[in-house]
Structure 1
Amino acid sequence: MNVLVLLAIILFFLMAWVGGKKGIKSFSALFINFLIVIATVLVMNDPDAHPVLLTIVACGLISATSLFFINEINNKTVLAFFASIVTIVALLFFIILLTEQSMIQGFGEEESESLTIFSVHIGLNFVQIAASVIIMSTIGAILDTAISITSPMREIHDQNPDISRKDLFLAGIRIGRDILGTSTNTLFFAFFGGYMGLIIWFKDLDYSIGDIVNAKVFSDEMITILISGTGVAAVIPIAAAMSAYYLTRKKVRED
């Protein structure tokens, strides 16, 4: 049996055992999101396609699948969805500008040797593709943080319906502070875990610190991590503000 199939089966049974019906839904959502990404890449291969616009649409579908399919449609998932989309749109101009200025698009010289047999004239805008990669890499962390804010804020409001909008917002910010450190560390060590071989290779080739920092393949990943961390930090006040406004709106009207 193929190792990937075996690991997928193990993951499915563990998620079903631990999460029950919701665990099965989570596994299904993972598969659906994988199909969405593959479909986006295939459509993006068309020279007339707009990679960034396609990625925004794909992020919307991924967000809807991850939130609504697993946790159903309710105020906490709807708030997390809109907070995630607002954050991505707010970061969009910054991502495109940074991608153009840093020139991280395309392949680094470390990868060029394996590409010499292929034609590089493929008619695609690699600046937009690089921006699309960053956006797609960011959405997962933003979604996770957004639902981690909106869900406990709804619970706080349910347990204390008379809480003021300001106090509820500040409670969301305090929750976000606890999440922020672990989320950014997860992003950082995910990079070093996935690129440990590359870092060892840099050392074997006697790369200096300056060479490593300025290597395109390294800078690309570090910029992705930093923007993802920025998105995680930005979505906390956005999700907290949206949740505080929505959950206390009836009370404000009655007053």
Structure 2
Amino acid sequence: MNVLMILSVILFILMVSIGGNKGVLSFISLFFNFGVLMITIILMLDPDRNPIFLTMIACTVISCINLFFINEINRKTITAFISTMITIVILLLFIDLVTRVSMIQGFSEEQSEELAPYSLYIGVNFIKVGASVIIMSTIGAITEVAMSITSSMSETLNHHPSINHRDLFLSGMRIGKDILGTDTNTLFFAFFGGYMALLIWFKDLDYSLGEIVNSKIFSSEMITIFSAGIGIALIIPITSWIHSLVSLKLIARNRRVMNED
């Protein structure tokens, strides 16, 4: 039994013992999401297919898995899904523009030695692939924030059923403010944790701070972090507004039906 299998078993045991049935579904969803990513990458190899369009389909499927497969179809997951899709569309338009302007697509100078024996003509649009990579890096954080806000707002509504739209929206915003700082820092430290060896390599190559900041590989990762942070910031007001509007409308409709009966 190798290390990967041992870690998988430990993760499964912990998720089941803590999360119960949802823990099992969450563990299974990891393999579903991996399958979606692999299929998307394979489809992107065809130059006739648009990577951004494929990314939107993949994000939709991943959102359905993370929201509906794990947490079932209900008011919380539906509003979280709608908010996620709206945020992804806005973010995709922004990221596509940033990728074109910054020209971070393709391989960096630091990777040239490893790639020298191979042909660099791949036949795909790396500008769109670069935008797709950034979007894929943000989808997990966005769905997480959307679900956290809708769950918290639903608890607030259960305890205060007479709350109005404005107060419920502000409640979601306050929850989002607490999430915003921790999630953006999580993304930031995940980058430095994953690229610690690269930063050490930069130091061994005697890169100055300006050379590090202006290197393509560093810039692309920082743009990914900033784009994910923008997505997290956008999803908070969008989810808060949509969930408060939908929830109160459903409550008002149920009350009218009960009064008519």
Alignment of 1:74-223 (within 5 A): 74-223=74-223
SS at match of 2:222: helix
Deviations 1:133-153 (A, max 9, x none): 000001111011100111110
Deviations 1:65-114 (A, max 9, x none): 01111110000011111101100101111100100110100000001110
Which residue number in structure 1 is paired with residue 7 of structure 2?
Answer: 7
Which residue number in structure 2 is paired with residue 73 of structure 1?
Answer: 73
Q: 1:6 offset after TM fit, Å?
A: 1.8
| Superposed CA RMSD | 1.2
SS at match of 1:189: helix
CA–CA distance in 2 between the matches of 1:160 and 1:240? Answer: 16
Q: 1:2 offset after TM fit, Å?
A: 2.1
CA–CA distance in 1 between the matches of 2:248 and 2:14? Answer: 39
**Counterpart residue identity of residue 228, structure 2:** S
CA–CA distance in 2 between the matches of 1:19 and 1:251? Answer: 30
What TM-score results when the alignment is normalised by the length of structure 2? 0.95
**Counterpart residue identity of residue 72, structure 1:** E
Deviations 1:116-139 (A, max 9, x none): 111111110000000000000011
Deviations 1:167-199 (A, max 9, x none): 000000000000000000000000000000000
**Counterpart residue identity of residue 50, structure 1:** N
Matched, 1:30 2:56: no
**Counterpart residue identity of residue 241, structure 1:** W
Matched, 1:41 2:31: no
The more displaced of 233-242 and 6-15 is 6-15
CA–CA distance in 1 between the matches of 2:20 and 2:91? Answer: 36
SS at match of 1:120: coil
Query: Could you tell me the percent identity over the aligned residues?
Result: 57
Deviations 1:5-27 (A, max 9, x none): 22112111111111111111100
Q: 1:250 offset after TM fit, Å?
A: 4.4
What TM-score results when the alignment is normalised by the length of structure 1? 0.98
Q: Which runs of 5+ in 2 are unaligned?
A: 257-261
Deviations 1:211-244 (A, max 9, x none): 0000000000000000000000000000000011
Structure 1 stretches of at least 4 aligned residues deviating more than 2 Å after TM superposition: 250-255
Q: How many residues align?
A: 255
C-alpha spacing 1:46/1:250, structure 2 compared with 1 (3 Å): closer
Q: 1:4 offset after TM fit, Å?
A: 1.3
**Counterpart residue identity of residue 18, structure 1:** I
CA–CA distance in 2 between the matches of 1:103 and 1:169? Answer: 39
Which residue number in structure 2 is paired with residue 58 of structure 1?
Answer: 58
**Counterpart residue identity of residue 208, structure 1:** S
Q: Which runs of 5+ in 1 are unaligned?
A: none
CA–CA distance in 2 between the matches of 1:185 and 1:251? Answer: 37
Matched, 1:236 2:223: no
